Amino acid sequence: MTKDYPRPSVTVDLVIFTIATNDLKVLLIRRDVEPFKGHWALPGGFVGIDESLEDAAARELQEEAGVKQVYLEQLFTFGEPNRDPRGRVISVAYFALVDSEQQQVVAGSDAAAAEWYSVFQPPPLAFDHRQILEYAVWRLRNKLEWTTVGYELLPQKFTLSELQRVYEIILQKPVDKRNFRKKILAQGQIKELSEIRTEGAHRPARLYSFKQH
Amino acid sequence: MTKDYPRPSVTVDLVIFTIATNDLKVLLIRRDVEPFKGHWALPGGFVGIDESLEDAAARELQEEAGVKQVYLEQLFTFGEPNRDPRGRVISVAYFALVDSEQQQVVAGSDAAAAEWYSVFQPPPLAFDHRQILEYAVWRLRNKLEWTTVGYELLPQKFTLSELQRVYEIILQKPVDKRNFRKKILAQGQIKELSEIRTEGAHRPARLYSFKQH
DNA sequence: ACAAAAGTGTTGAGAGTACACCCATGC
DNA sequence: GCATGGGTGTACTCTCAACACTTTTGT
């Protein structure tokens, strides 16, 4: 029954976020072929015929960013008929959160030119990737306010000031220190460690870690 | 570049909600062919090769439920390799809200057997449609708490008691009348009409209508 | 007059927000 | 001893939840 219909191609595209140099970054790949040659694009690729969407996204994440076991969530499916000039391509977009330690090891390890760009000043993007990126940022902001997803952008052990910086960078507004700590601790999702981070010429900070995951 | 990959089929499936007989209903189609012959399924169909996903969903909505211009939102994309035994089918699920007046005119107008079922006691469903339905109900509940989407299930003019019933039916719990009215009015999204509904042997109720749409 | 749904305010608890000073360390 | 980031508490506002009686109509 399904044989007679012309079929679209199906891809997954990834919005891979990380925090670096006090900014929210997204991983982009430089296109070296037409169309959009010289523009940047979200990493992505075709979905294997026997591969689930989530598996395809995880595979791309591994191939392009060299990470696995990170936070990954389906974002939206983009399917305008003319979004790709080469033909009908339906893209299932995912977004991923990579912690700031893993990220540094990996950027640029791929053969293709890959770079972390600020999501707030992105270069010209191919296809409808600008729209996908904007939607992903919107979703990330929402999730940050209603869930505890912020921990995914930090290494296992972190200080409360580091976590606060993550919130400030993503929401693009200052956060009150006392209220932030009160709210985060009240959620009961992080535990205080006995360790303390001594670095820099200041008072050492207590380390915390996320309870599950 | 896209030629060599075996391509999946892409469909849209619709979770079409309405309110009737004090219950939240979903439109289901009885399958008269294998697989899942005799089971019920969400209405849906293939996405045309030059048709956007949203257009495909709107078209199915028109064909299966006979309505247009109703609330329609993309839900999630389901793509497990074995969700359809006939082959690889990726389904972009949408959910739609049909007001209780339009619904009555249309149910059963299609040639295929179509029926409104309670979402809380659904019959055996084909494929992964049970999972899609459950996710849609979850999303509807969330939207109801954070947005003003409830109006979409009522005709243009409605009483506050009718709106409250919509909330109670969907959330499956009683709602305090005074708090409900206070909250709804505070949102500033509905306006009081001069009209009054006189029906039944009781005090007539004031009518309201939604401000935009 | 009575049955049935419409309509209406107040109080208390908890969450969120604003706000300023001392602490521990390296140099 | 000073510069730098770490760490702490209180008061106010606003939102949400609980709760009971009067009004208007048809019969």
Residue-level pLDDT, tens digit, chain B, 213 residues: 545 678 999 999 999 999 999 999 999 999 999 899 999 999 999 999 999 999 999 999 999 888 889 999 999 999 999 999 999 999 999 999 999 887 665 555 555 688 999 999 999 999 999 999 999 999 999 999 999 999 999 999 999 999 999 999 999 999 999 999 999 999 999 999 988 887 778 899 999 999 875
Confidence of residue A107 (pLDDT cuts 50, 70, 90): low
Taking the Cβ of residue B188 and every Cβ of chain A, the question of whether any pair is shorter than 8 Å is answered with: no
Distance, CA of A96 to CA of B68 (rounded, Å): 36
CB contact under 8 A, A10 and B90: yes
pLDDT in tens, A59-87: 999 998 888 899 999 999 999 999 999 99
Name the closest residue on chain B to residue A45, using Cα atoms: B2
Mean pLDDT of A198-204: 83
Residue nearest to nucleotide C17 (CA to C1'): A179
Taking the Cβ of residue B52 and every Cβ of chain A, the question of whether any pair is shorter than 8 Å is answered with: yes
Q: Kindly tell me if the per-residue pLDDT of A198 is higher than 90.
A: no
pLDDT in tens, A125-170: 999 999 999 999 999 999 999 999 999 999 999 999 999 999 999 9
Residues 123-182 in B having a C-beta less than 7 A from any atom of strand C are 159-161, 177-179, 181-182
Name the closest residue on chain A to residue B34, using Cα atoms: A1
CB contact under 8 A, A10 and B7: yes
State the nucleotide closest to B202 in CA–C1' terms: D25
Residue A202's pLDDT is what?
A: 87
Residues of A within 8 A of B92 (CB-CB) are: 77, 79, 90
Residue A177's pLDDT is what?
A: 97
Q: Are A30 and A129 in contact (CB under 8 A)?
A: no
pTM, whole model, 2 decimals? 0.93
Residue A154 backbone phi and psi in degrees, to 5? -120, 155
Residue A49's pLDDT is what?
A: 95
Query: Which residues, 6 or more positions from B39, have their beta carbon under 8 angstroms from its beta carbon?
Result: B30, B31, B123, B124, B125, B126
Instruction: Quickly give A46 CA vs D15 C1' distance in Å.
Output: 48
Residue positions counted in chain B = 213
CA distances from A118 to A139, A140, B76 (A): 17, 15, 28
CB contact under 8 A, A81 and B52: yes
The reply to whether the CB atom of residue B203 sits less than 7 A from any atom in nucleic acid chain D is yes
Distance, CA of A104 to CA of A101 (rounded, Å): 6
Residue B211's pLDDT is what?
A: 85
Nearest neighbour of A46 by CB, restricted to B5, B9, B86: B5
Residue B196's pLDDT is what?
A: 86
Query: What percent of chain A is predicted at pLDDT more than 90?
Result: 80
Residue B140's pLDDT is what?
A: 97
Query: Which residues, 6 or more positions from B134, have their beta carbon under 8 angstroms from its beta carbon?
Result: none
Nearest neighbour of B49 by CB, restricted to A6, A47, A86: A6
- From B62's Cα to the closest Cα of chain A, the distance in A is 20
Residue positions counted in chain A = 213
State the nucleotide closest to A198 in CA–C1' terms: C25
Residue B2's pLDDT is what?
A: 47
Q: Kindly tell me if the per-residue pLDDT of A200 is higher than 80.
A: no
Return positions of chain D under 7 A from a protein CB. Answer: 3-10, 16-20, 23-27
Task: Tell me how many helices (H) and strands (E) chain A has.
Answer: 5, 10
Taking the Cβ of residue A83 and every Cβ of chain B, the question of whether any pair is shorter than 8 Å is answered with: no
- From B51's Cα to the closest Cα of chain A, the distance in A is 6
Taking the Cβ of residue A62 and every Cβ of chain B, the question of whether any pair is shorter than 8 Å is answered with: no
Residue nearest to nucleotide D18 (CA to C1'): B176
For residue A95, which of A79, A72, A123, A69 has the smallest C-alpha distance?
A72
Identify the burial level of B85 via C-beta atoms within 10 angstroms of its C-beta, where 0-12 means exposed, 13-18 middle and 19 or more buried. Answer: exposed
Taking the Cβ of residue A1 and every Cβ of chain B, the question of whether any pair is shorter than 8 Å is answered with: yes
Strand-pairing partners, residue A133, are none
Residue A2's pLDDT is what?
A: 47
